[in-house]
Structures are given as structure tokens and as C-alpha cells.
Amino acid sequence: MENRSKIFSLLGLAMRGRNLVSGEFQTVEAVKQKKACMVIVAEDAADNTKKLFHEKCTFYQIPVWEFGKKEDLGRAIGKDLRSSLAVCDEGLAAAIQKQLGAEM
């Protein structure tokens, strides 16, 4: 459980440092422009949304993870519900993925 809160605080840190974009449109743009270092899709996101990001991220070779609920992701970055986030900083992305790996 400690890993989850660490991941959420890292996401908040990324948001404050302007190294994170959220929402479907902005996340897809970050992936297409290869600005995204990793993508997180909410576990309770729509199947079409999950499929979209898994396909886009596979094509652009960007790691994609399913983690958290929409409400929790939104709260972590100080916004409303968010079903997708893109972390645009390699160091933060690596730290988050390390925590996600430990979470699995």
C-alpha cells in the first residue's frame, strides 16, 4: 500500500513540475510527439480508452501501465477525474515505473 501513495505523490510532483499532461487528448498528443516517457491509464477507464493507449504506446514504444482509479489519479494531480496521464520527464517516469514494478 505504501507504494501506491508513493506513486501518487510522484505524480503530484510531476504535475507541479509541469512534467505531466492529463486527459485523453493531451496524453495522445504527448505520445504522438514522443514527449511522453510513460503513460498511466486508470484501471476503471473505458475499454476503448485502454485499447487506444495500449495500441498508441506500443506503436510509439512508450511504456503504458494500468494503475489506480480515475478519482485517485485526478486527486493526485489536483484535478477532477482523469483516465489517462503522460509523464514527460525520464527521471520521474523511471521512479514511478520502479514503484509500479514493486506494486505488481
**Nearest to 39, CA basis, from 14, 6, 16, 75:** 14
Return the C-alpha cell found at 92.
520521474
pLDDT value for 1? 59
pLDDT value for 2? 83
Q: What is the pTM of this model?
A: 0.95
Which stretches of the chain score pLDDT less than 70?
1, 103-104
The whole domain housing 78 covers 2-103
pLDDT value for 33? 97
Q: Which CATH number characterizes residue 82's domain?
A: 3.30.1330.30
DSSP 66-100: E-S-HHHHHHHTTSS--SEEEE--HHHHHHHHHHH
As for how many domains the chain has, the answer is 1
